[in-house]
Amino acid sequence: MTRTFDDARRWTRLGTDLFLEAADAALTGPGEPSALPGWSRGHVVAHVAANADALGHLVHWAATGEPTPMYSSPGERAAGIERGARLPAVELTAWLRRSADALATAMDALDDRQWRREVVTAQGRTVPATELPWLRSREVCVHAIDLATGPTFADLPPDFLTALCEDVVLKRATAATTGPALLLRTPDGHRWDLPGEGEPVEVAAELPDLTAFLTGRSDGPLTTDGVVAPALGPWL
């Protein structure tokens, strides 16, 4: 793993700005479709606002040692997104900004000992609180693109894209369901081996295109044999 805690904090700030800007454009039509199947732009904004509140519970856990889960249940999480997506745009924007500010303020207040405290994510992973900025940066950066108002993976910093590819490859490599074996390369020298079924298929693409493919946001670049790379299942 090449990313550092300081990297993740920087990407969280940058991604939050990018998401807030994209949300302003998206919420002129909150009912318009996002790039995510079945979700409007309003759903994506509500999900990111709810995510800030939920990560805030883990920051509270880190600050106090009192176990406070991200969501009380998966049902509560889904209901919150549905409710939020139907809010008037001005209220949804206010929630988004308030939740992002509160999370940033709470993170800024943690000391070294609190950052090292272990918390449990919604996926059931036990991690030190120092992982929380990475989780948040992933949400704001990737969902800024899902809002489908213009930003693409090429607008995200290459070091973030590299960390994201590493993260997705690791996740896919250890997932219960395996896809096709892939050898992924970029012209600037990155290389990832994704274990899976069959002889590895080689895919060479620019880093933003490879990231879009790995995160399930594109149908896939061409393989070096000139055919479209095999589709990948959901990542998270």
Residues in touch with Zn ion (CB under 5 A): 139
Sequence-ordered list of residues with C-beta below 8 angstroms from that of 30, at least 6 positions apart, any chain? 40, 41, 42, 45, 85, 89, 92
Q: For Zn ion, which is the closer residue by CB, 139 or 209?
A: 139
The distance of closest approach from Cβ of residue 78 to Zn ion in the complex, given in angstroms and rounded to an integer, is 12
Complex with Zn ion: residue 5 or 235, whichever CB lies closer: 235
The nearest distance, CB 63 to Zn ion, in angstroms, is 24
Give the shortest CB-143-to-Zn ion separation in angstroms.
6
Q: Which is nearer to Zn ion, 9 or 136 (CB)?
A: 136
What's the closest the beta carbon of residue 216 comes to Zn ion, in angstroms? 12
User: Considering beta carbons, is residue 30 or 196 the nearer one to Zn ion?
Assistant: 30
Distance, CA of 176 to CA of 205 (rounded, Å): 27
Q: How far is the CB of 77 from Zn ion (least distance, A)?
A: 10
Query: Exposed e or buried b for every residue in 74-83, given b needs 16+ CB within 10 A?
Result: eeebeebbee
Q: Which helix (H) or strand (E) holds 59?
A: helix 41-64
Closest-approach residue to Zn ion (CB): 139
**Burial classification of residue 32, based on how many CB atoms lie within 10 Å of its CB (0-12 exposed, 13-18 middle, 19 or more buried):** middle
Beta strands in the chain, from DSSP E residues, in sequence order: 118-120, 126-128, 180-185, 191-194, 197-204
CB 16 within 8 A of CB 100: yes
Nearer to Zn ion, 153 or 205 (CB): 153
